[in-house]
Chains A and B, each alone.
Chain A
Amino acid sequence: MNDDYLWDRTGEPDPQIQQLEQILGTLGYYTRPLELPARVRIGRRRTFFPRIAIAAAVATMLVGGAFWLLLHKQTALVGLESVSNPQAVEKLKTASENVAPPAKNKRVYESTIVNAALENKPKGRSVRKNLMAGNKQFRTLGETELTARHRAEAEAAKEQLMLALRVASAKLSLAQKKAHGTYPGSLIRNQHKIG
């Protein structure tokens, strides 16, 4: 039997092969244009929602960051508003001279020392709480006033710095002495009774 029909469709066709061709022929690939269902609308609908959401997230982060910075600055200049009592101001200043004054007098000397010095500035202007918020008002101040304020702030900060260094130094030194065994307590403990 000539089986050329299988290869190039010449010669005598085999009925079984023809039958198979008919069955499988329906599954073959035929190029035809894409037919979209009627309910599908062609065209891209642009949505701004993702962009708005991203912008909102970024804005939230920026606001959060600014808020954090604001808090951070305010911690540095704690309670800028007032040490209203001048006597208290004097007390604060004198208190910073001593590292360990008698415990009987209850004193609190803290960051308000900065404010004590700032109290000397002319009244009628609100105190600049932080750099970010205060810049607008800050520019309106005169040059000399600016320098005076800076100086007052620096002087007060210097007092604080000295106090902090005193405490830090004393504690470090104490640690060193204790570690080396030259602390009086340890010396007394190690002494033996004579006689």
Chain B
Amino acid sequence: MRTLFKTMKLASLALLLGLSVSVTARAQNARIEMGQLDHLGAKASETVDVNIDERLMHLTAKFLSGKDPDEVKIKELVNGLKGIYVKSFEFERDGDYSQADIESIRLQLRSPAWSKILNVSSKKEGSVEVYLMSNAAQVGGLVVVATDLKELTIVNIVGPVDLEKLSQLEGQFGVPELGIERTKPKPKN
């Protein structure tokens, strides 16, 4: 009987060790779970669902041309990234998604590893939240949660990402400009 107890203790310790290792590995990962939003696909008039893991990322980077300047820029940008995951839903009616859907994402971003670097919210124009995971001196991941009355977009980039370069992509490679002129700094007198 005593042997049985000892064995069970050892086995449960081994299981706990394994579980804690996997949980720690998961916690350090900048990837967030977005599967719970899949049910919105049925209501949405338009759905974008992109899942590029590390293997696909490496494969794609190999096939990006080193001569085409546009592709060179992208290659630089995605170099070192471990995954890009996007879920975007556009709805025909207001309120087709609930706050609980967004909250399920925000909940994962409340861990100390994540910090909200930008939060612009407006009742009419929706809100955009930008979260960053920092590992030591470099960025470990990025999450953008953009919500509008008829739109919900979650972007999750895993790995070191250059925010400046990423935001500058708009207007290039077929990315539509929003028709906004950039404000030029006034010359000093």
User: Could you list which residues of chain A lie within 8 angstroms of chain B, going by C-beta atoms?
Assistant: 47, 49-50, 53-54, 56-58, 60-61, 64-65, 68, 72-73, 75-78, 97, 99-101, 103-111, 114, 131, 150-151, 153-155, 157-158, 160-180, 182-186
Contact = CB atoms under 8 A, between A and B. Distances in A.
Interface in B1-44: 3-4, 6-8, 10-11, 14-15, 18, 22, 41
18 contacts: A49-B7, A50-B3, A72-B53, A97-B174, A103-B90, A108-B49, A109-B47, A110-B47, A114-B56, A154-B63, A157-B52, A158-B63, A167-B88, A168-B144, A171-B153, A173-B167, A179-B118, A185-B122
B175 interface: yes
B72 interface: no
A174 B178 contact: yes
B157 A168 contact: yes
B52 A107 contact: no
B92 interface: yes
A186 B183 CA distance: 14
A78 B8 CA distance: 39
Contact of A182 (B53, B150, B183): B183
Nearest to B26: A68
Contacts of B45: 103-104, 106
B109 to A, nearest CB: 15
Interface of B: 3-4, 6-8, 10-11, 14-15, 18, 22, 41, 45-53, 55-57, 59-60, 62-64, 74, 77-78, 84-86, 88, 90, 92, 118, 120, 122, 124-125, 128, 130, 142, 144, 146, 150, 153, 155, 157, 163, 166-170, 173-176, 178-180, 182-183
A110 B45 CA distance: 14
Contact of A50 (B7, B47, B155): B7
A166 B169 contact: yes
A47 B175 CA distance: 69
